[in-house]
Structure 1
Amino acid sequence: MDELTFLTRLHRPGLIVDVGAHDGLLTLPLARLPGARVLAFEPLPQAHARLARACAGLGNVTLRREALSDAPGTLELALPVLDGVPQEQWASTVKSYAGYGARIDTQRVAVPAITLDSLALAEMAALKIDAEGAEYEVLRGARQTLRRCRPLLTLELEERHREGATWAVPAFLDGLDYHTAFHLDGAWHPIAALDRPRMHRASPDPSVFGAASERYVFTFFAWPRERDAEVRARVTTA
């Protein structure tokens, strides 16, 4: 089960927030859903420029250059550079990439940060977060919005980027009466069923390939408990 399938099957017209939009891999297809409006956040300057070109002319897409966090201010975005090639999809505000060996250099970019709550959104149908370890801060800064709007959530959580993320984020969402799960072999599994040694092991070093668990589960889905029956009825197969 991927994020686009989940969000498409459960789509309701309204606002979709894409945190960590990068080149628009999800922004663009989400914008094509009936009645959808997309608010996309991408703080990495070069990625934001490409995203702006890709979204040119789309009246239902709004782009923001800020990072989302749990407090306003300025954050340092660390961008690892492997053998001279920037690894943009590893850019993180919570991971430094210090001490990863001679093949890794790090570019550091100061980016503005805001909270999602500061936007006082009137409604939000869905929220996708891919923030390379900063998912907890993004959600903390969206607490009031989650309580008010009750959106669907898709989350990329990886222990290799933030130790404890697969415990802390579901626990935070549980306090907001959200159920967090992953989809595997055509069925939903609660986060408690995640066998991390067998299903969630990978190197935190962008220069190390392989050595991952046989099944690497890192995409998680969360929904308000009051929508549990609907989600399970409408999203039952891979």
Structure 2
Amino acid sequence: MDEITFHTLLHRPGTLVDVGAHDGLIAIPLARLPSSRVIAFEPLPPAFARLQDALAREFGGLPAHVDCRAAALGDTAGEIILSMPVLDGVAQEQWASTAKDYRAHLSGRVTVERFAVPLLRLDDLAIADLTAMKVDAEGAEYEVLRGARETLLRCRPVLTLEIEERHREGSTWAVPAFLDALGYEVLFELRGEWHPVAALDRATMQRASPDPSVFEASDPYVFVFYALPREDAAGMLARLRAAS
């Protein structure tokens, strides 16, 4: 099941947050959901420009119910360096990260562009009706959630998270453990079946190179995880299984 289907099946009116919106692949479908307000965070300047252009094309102008923020999220507020690897002269935007600097992978093929970007805490926005959140932060997921702790406890949104050991070693343990402490069930879906995160075999399902010049990964490669508030998890999971 992809993230858009997940959020569509479990949609409730309210605010939806897209962390790492890039050029709108998920932000635009979220914005189409009924009675939705979307806050899309994208710190990489060229991607942010394309995000705004894509929204304007889709809705005939920037829609009033979508708030685009040229910022990264974390557990402090201020400024942070966003590092983006460039492979053979081609920007690897999908690898841009505030959690690592790629110094270990510099070579004749790999260089790095760095951007100083604003850093915000989601809790500081005081959102009262957050119903869903998507996080794709290339290794910074733990800090994003730490900075959203009070909002998660107050609003109990559903979440999708892209978590990869290649971007941050230990993240597939640390992020689910943090969410477990907040009363969330963390799951993954594989070939139509839903599994608890405890069933993740990292040696066979999360093996990939951290080097942007090396294209290799395990098969299957499980990197999208789903978090449901424990008090509602049984009913929500039943709906997801019925649609899988």
Query: Match for residue 130 of structure 1?
Result: 136
Query: Match for residue 167 of structure 1?
Result: 173
Query: Match for residue 218 of structure 2?
Result: 213
Q: In 2, distance between residues paired with 1:67 and 1:132?
A: 11
Q: In 1, distance between residues paired with 2:48 and 2:177?
A: 32
Query: Match for residue 51 of structure 1?
Result: 51
More helix by share: 2
Q: In 2, distance between residues paired with 1:105 and 1:172?
A: 34
CA-to-partner distance for each residue in 1:118-174, whole Å, 9 max, x for gaps? 000111010100000000000000000000000000000000000000000000001
Query: Match for residue 29 of structure 2?
Result: 29
What code does the residue aligned with 2:155 have? C
What code does the residue aligned with 2:113 have? Q
What code does the residue aligned with 2:3 have? E
Q: Does 1:139 align with 2:165?
A: no
Return the TM-score normalized by structure 1. Answer: 0.98
Instruction: Report the secondary structure of 1:99's partner residue.
Output: helix
Instruction: Report the secondary structure of 2:119's partner residue.
Output: strand
Instruction: Report the secondary structure of 2:179's partner residue.
Output: helix
Query: Match for residue 121 of structure 1?
Result: 127
Q: Does 1:234 align with 2:219?
A: no
Query: Match for residue 96 of structure 2?
Result: 91
Moved over 4 A (4+): none
Q: Does 1:102 align with 2:108?
A: yes
Q: Does 1:72 align with 2:48?
A: no
Q: Does 1:194 align with 2:200?
A: yes
What code does the residue aligned with 2:135 have? I
Q: Does 1:11 align with 2:37?
A: no
What code does the residue aligned with 1:142 have? A
Identity within the alignment, % = 64
Instruction: List gaps (5 residues or longer) in structure 2.
Output: none
How large is the Cα RMSD of the aligned pairs?
A: 0.8
Instruction: Report the secondary structure of 2:130's partner residue.
Output: coil
Aligned residues: 237
Instruction: List gaps (5 residues or longer) in structure 1.
Output: none
Give, in angstroms, the shift of residue 95 of structure 1. 1.1
CA-to-partner distance for each residue in 1:46-83, whole Å, 9 max, x for gaps? 11011111112222111001110000111000010000
Give, in angstroms, the shift of residue 209 of structure 1. 1.1
Q: Does 1:222 align with 2:227?
A: yes
What code does the residue aligned with 1:135 have? E
